[in-house]
Structure 1
């Protein structure tokens, strides 16, 4: 088996701690400016998107007060990203990733302006809101794989874990700030004006990304004229100019060729991922975690209202009495844990987790901890213990996200990284509604605490599978 892996995997490149300028032999620090621009732009973009996302969901809850409306909002807000990610991963490997990050933001900003105007004029309705949620989600299906594939394009491989961890910290900080800001704004400003915040931050984010000067290297995807038509059947020895063939191909044929090429890319990406044990482990482990653990986490609303109704908790600096107080504490506790875990990975993890095998082990142990903390939420004896476990769950989530992203970025060939991320995004995006379809009905049949216990226990096999791969392939030469 070891021999098979070595023969099917590309030769592992040398992983350096920092890039070096060939002309002078000195360390090239220009990547710091590129990453600073990228992460700053994403921080603005994420903040605006999250504020608007909370505002829209709360508007649906307050206006409709219907479980069906929330289910439809989830489907329109999640499923399109999963579907589009199938194609987004292929696009990230073929086309300019920088543009694929920028264009969805601009399109989303445009439809958000339309929604803002409709609210201001009194035309807004639930159907229009679902359409906007659909477009926003679909844009994420293009943007997320492109962003994840773009990071290793502008970052030295030795710095990837640190950069991914910093990105995780930015996400965590956004999850703390966004609901708080949305709660304040929705009480003092009309919804149409809150929507314009996302438009403003999107433009700022696009501006920062536009300033990035991408280094010329072999990591960047190259789109050629032959990408616009199916010329694979033209023999190399025929003497026929394939570019000429492309120019004389009709628009319908070009579209069909593009569809065939996309599905061929999907097949290649899936086959490539399944042949690589660590990539396969990350993809399956991530998907199982979303189905078994992340889905129950979306039921904390029911858990808090059923298990802790009428139970107050005085933390000294704040007294949790109402349902909204407890839900806010639940959200903040998990986000604070994510912030702490991201900081740990950015500082200690970046120095200690240098090999892919060690990163895989940490990711698998963190997935196990995620499962155990989900189980703990279900059996917590009181609200204080619940919130402590909630913080631990956030830490566990952050300590598996950073290594997982880094493994995909470093173990994937540069020409396949977008497709692997697209596959991961698709499986995790669909994992959430699949888990909800299973656990949400169960919560109305059995005690909701049992749902959390079941979800936590069912996460553990995925963690064991990931860990077992590091033992099975110890000493085997894999793609770095």
Structure 2
């Protein structure tokens, strides 16, 4: 927390949990509509190419715009930014709903434009939320609240598919889309009651290219975090093909049903919820790199073993069990890394750094997706899981063997302790 924050420190929990509730309501309605749009495209076109294009639309803005949104986030009012992006998404939902009401089918181009706008909004919202958390909560609580935020996001992944499937079956699509408007109203209404402290960089002039380079420079200069980030990007490249092929693994390799494919998604998300809850409750490790190493190990073993399972009903049961543990381990990497980053840089720089970081972590996803289908067709979908598991374990080993990465959190905690001690000494001197 910065000294410039004006609200009562004793009220930070109420303020933060009000913010968290608003993000939950806004997030779950947005995801329900997102699932509904994908199911509509599946039913209307039956085209894998259309679905792949829709998936890429959701990733491209993060990759391309990520480094450039950071300077804007650092300089603009963050509450206004979150409200505006929610409102813009709601407006496009209304336009899409009207188009679907007036025509017998939704125009595909408008559906794609809507998906793209939603992705652009998320590209702004994610680093904005990440950059304001250190200004809303005490420094020692950052790991916990990141875990709680991760748990809320995981809960969205659990509830949204089931709720979306139910609503999709009973409500016409043109009215279901308006759920996003309801979520925006609730989210914006609660956000209006939240206190988000200003940081000193707000209102300064913006130089997109220079500011983006500055964000990258700050990240590169921090060798430990830079190595962790680059290895994490490689992990995303290796893991993304397997992640995108879960439905094919269930329905083709295990000869399962759509319901079983949905079950895997829910099971994995339940695991993520449990992992986020563990971090939220017990997240005060003295060395957060140890849980990250454990996460690499668990994910690598569970995903790798999935590729060796027999393509039978019994094999599918083991697949479900393995994915409970894989889901449990998944939040530890991003959540703990995010807390370390938030403690490593001043809040006024975080938007620029988060923009670059999110872009680096996302850029490998589309690359993995492009090669996932052809590679799976050639060697078998189960082999993709084996490759992902082995690759994940290698990433964990490389991180452990890199001293700057392995010792990063211990050194960071030492620096933070020295900083707190110096501040305490200064406070005592001022009182004298």
Structure 1 position 96 matched with structure 2 position 30: no
Question: Is the aligned partner of 1:186 residue 2:168?
Answer: yes
Of the three residues 65, 73, 98, the one matched with 2:46 is 65
Which residue among 177, 191, 208 is the counterpart of 1:195?
177
CA distance in 2, matches of 1:447, 1:163: 40
> Normalised by the size of structure 1, how large is the TM-score?
0.80
Counterpart for residue 239 of structure 1: none
Could you tell me the TM-score, scaled by structure 2's length?
A: 0.89
Aligned residues: 408
How much does 1:476 deviate?
Answer: 4.8
Cα deviation for residue 21 of structure 1 reads 10
Give the counterpart of 1:369 among 298, 318, 321: 298
SS in 2 for 1:445: helix
Structure 2 residue runs of 5 or longer lacking an equivalent are 417-432
1:306–1:215 distance in 2 versus 1, CA, 3 Å = closer
Which residue of 100, 106, 119 maps to 2:87? 106
The CA deviation string for residues 148-204 of structure 1, in whole angstroms up to 9 with x for no partner, is 101111111111111111111111111111000111111111011111111110121
Q: Which has the larger radius of gyration?
A: 1
User: Shift of the alpha carbon at 1:474?
Assistant: 8.2
- Asked if 1:74 corresponds to 2:74, the answer is no
Partner of 2:375: 442
Matched, 1:466 2:399: yes
- Does the CA contact (< 8 Å) of 1:336 and 1:394 recur in 2? yes
Q: Encode CA deviations 1:255-307: one digit per residue, 9 max, x unaligned.
A: xxx5xx11111111111111112321332233222211133111011111222
- 2:236 aligns with one of 262, 286, 290: 290
What does residue range 307-386 of structure 1 map to in structure 2 within 5 Å? 307-309=253-255, 323-348=257-282, 350-351=283-284, 353=285, 355=286, 358-381=287-310, 382-386=315-319
Structure 2 residue corresponding to 1:130, chosen from 112, 119, 130: 112
Residue matched to 1:4: none
Are residues 33 and 474 of structure 1, via their aligned partners in 2, closer, same or farther at CA, if it must alter by over 3 Å? closer
Of 19, 31, 42, which residue of structure 1 is paired with 2:12? Answer: 31
Q: Assess, with a 3 A threshold, how the Cα gap between structure 1 residues 20 and 107 changes in structure 2: closer, same or farther.
A: closer
Q: C-alpha distance in 1, partners of 2:71/2:197?
A: 21
- Give the root-mean-square deviation of aligned CA atoms: 2.3
- Greater fraction of residues in helix: 2
The separation in 2 between residues aligned to 1:151 and 1:144, in whole angstroms, is 11
Counterpart selection for 2:366 from 433, 438, 452: 433
Post-superposition CA distance 1:383-408 (Å, at most 9, x none): 11110111111001022222111011
1:378 Cα deviation after fit: 1.4
Separation of aligned partners in 1, 2:410 and 2:120: 41
- Greater Cα offset, 278-287 or 46-55: 278-287
Shift in CA distance, 275/365, structure 1 to aligned 2, threshold 3 Å: farther
CA distance in 1, matches of 2:279, 2:203: 35
Q: CA separation in 2, counterparts of 1:22 and 1:82?
A: 35
Which residue pairs with 2:424 in the alignment? none
CA shift digits 1:407-450 (9 cap, x unpaired): 11111232221122111221232221111112221001012111
| Residue of 249, 257, 275 corresponding to 2:221 | 275
Q: 2:409, 2:127 → 1: CA distance?
A: 29
Change (3 A) 1:47 1:367: same
